Homo-oligomer: A and B are copies of this chain.
Amino acid sequence: MCNYVSQNTFSEQVSTWKMKGFDIADMLVFLQNVGAVHFFCNYEESRGNYLVDADGNRMLDLYTQISSIPIGYNHPALLKVLSKPHNLSTFVNRPALGILPPENFPERLMETLVSVAPRGMSRVQTMACGSCSNENAFKSMFIWYKNKERGHNQPSQEEINSCMLNQGPGCPDLSILSFMGSFHGRTMGCLATTHSKSIHKLDVPSFDWPIAPFPKLRYPLEEFVRENSQEEARCLEEVEDLIVKWRQKGKTVAGIVTEPIQSEGGDNHASPDFFKKLRNIARKHGCAFHVDEVQTGCGPTGKFWAHEHWGLDDPADIVSFSKKMLTGGYFHKDEFMPYRIFNTWMGDPSKNIFLTEVLNVIKTERLLEEVSRSGKALLQGLYELQAQYPHLLSAARGVGTFCAINARDDATRDRLILKVRNKGIILGGCGEKSIRFRPALVFKEYHVHLFLNIFNDVLAEHK
């Protein structure tokens, strides 16, 4: 009954399509939604900061697969992994890590994730992607909160019975506080904390969880310290109000989740002071504090984790990651020990092998310093361009190469991105009208100038 097409039939189908003049894009239209596809790529020919498309065009990539390529395309260190025979079985035999880990897995974790654990965290749980990392981090916070409330981890019979029916007290009415403008993923738990675009959320049932305003700061931050600090105080006050209100509603806030820089939502920054105070509010109200570093983690801000810029006295409780880290997962404090966090794969050790090399390259090539240097040049260049084209650009901002600038409006933003692409530069958008810069960590100062020159040309020509 299943239409198990034989090799011949398949080749015939493709030949027929090709004879009819269909190209690869046409084929994909038959199989999938292609509304979001920009173009097809030749990953074999891509190198370093340059992505090559299916027609052989070589483009300087400042978007890097939505910020998920850490050290550029086809880095020799990564290719070498596949030439070592003892690595191959890890690719071919994907284990159920939670029950039957490979014998070298603890050492592999030490070499990779544990070696870059944020301060205060020595434990880590791997997951297959960013959404699963956040979903399971949320579950850890709920379980932690309930055990804290109980004073032990032995549920009552009523809890055991009711949870099987999705009902309280076993499935409690707890909540996660998130911020307007945030993005934490698109699975249903994550989506209840995502508020960047309506198109992500429309038509999907959600939870009645509190949503605080995220500071709307004026840039450059150092010129608007007083105004920004008032705006941050307003948002923090609202956070506390919401925690109290939701507790009164019977939907107590078990955890607060935030990005260090709201990335999908438009590269919205807040000050270290804001985050320190937010961390204190979480502690004061007994909520866990979860920093989502899926997009900011692994170096693009010039520190390995963006939240290292804050100088927290009391570390976060949970830090989740994915994208440039190649594997998803989250670090956590001891008391968030995930005794009941489990799934079949729990990550993918083949990604950890690549991560070993990525971390090694970051260290030996001093890429965090490189990022700081390139980032400084990039931000300086953006400042100059917005001064030169104030009718087109504003609000240049960033830390490391994790930069953004606003266009006049969304139509202008989209046109600028397209024009720049036609000149061999790949950029991405975020928020309402921002352009975001997400180059790989191997993006050097001369790439910055290459980009700035082309961007300048496009801006000069732009009507």
Tell me the A residues contacting B by CB distance below 8 Å: 1-7, 10, 13-14, 24-25, 27-28, 30-33, 35-44, 46, 51, 54, 65-66, 68-69, 73-75, 78-79, 81-82, 86, 88-96, 98-107, 109-111, 114-119, 122-125, 128-132, 135-136, 138-139, 142-143, 145-147, 155, 159-161, 163-167, 170-175, 180, 185-189, 192, 195, 198-209, 211, 303-305, 308, 311, 322-323, 326, 337-345, 350, 354, 360, 363
Contacts and interface: CB of A to CB of B under 8 A. Distances in A.
B135 A13 contact: no
Contact of A99 (B36, B188, B198, B343): B36
14 contacts: A5-B115, A6-B363, A32-B124, A39-B100, A43-B93, A66-B96, A68-B344, A73-B92, A129-B344, A131-B132, A136-B186, A163-B198, A171-B204, A188-B188
A186 B102 contact: no
Contacts of A161: 198
A171 to B, nearest CB: 4
A142 B205 contact: yes
A44 B103 CA distance: 10
A33 B125 contact: yes
B105 A33 contact: no
Given A101-B28, A171-B201, A304-B4, A343 B185 contact: yes
A24 B101 CA distance: 11
Contact of A202 (B128, B138, B163): B163
A89 B119 contact: no
Contacts of A82: 82, 88, 91-92
Main secondary structure of the interface of A (DSSP, over half): loop
B122 A36 contact: no
A23 to B, nearest CB: 9
Contact of A27 (B2, B4, B110): B110
Contact of A88 (B68, B79, B188, B208): B79
B187 A187 contact: yes
Contact of A110 (B14, B99, B207): B14
Contacts of A204: 139, 142-143, 163, 171
Contact of A118 (B1, B160, B201): B1
Contacts of A86: 44
A429 to B, nearest CB: 12
B201 A343 contact: no
Contacts of A344: 65-66, 68, 129-130, 322-323
A249 B394 CA distance: 50
A309 to B, nearest CB: 9
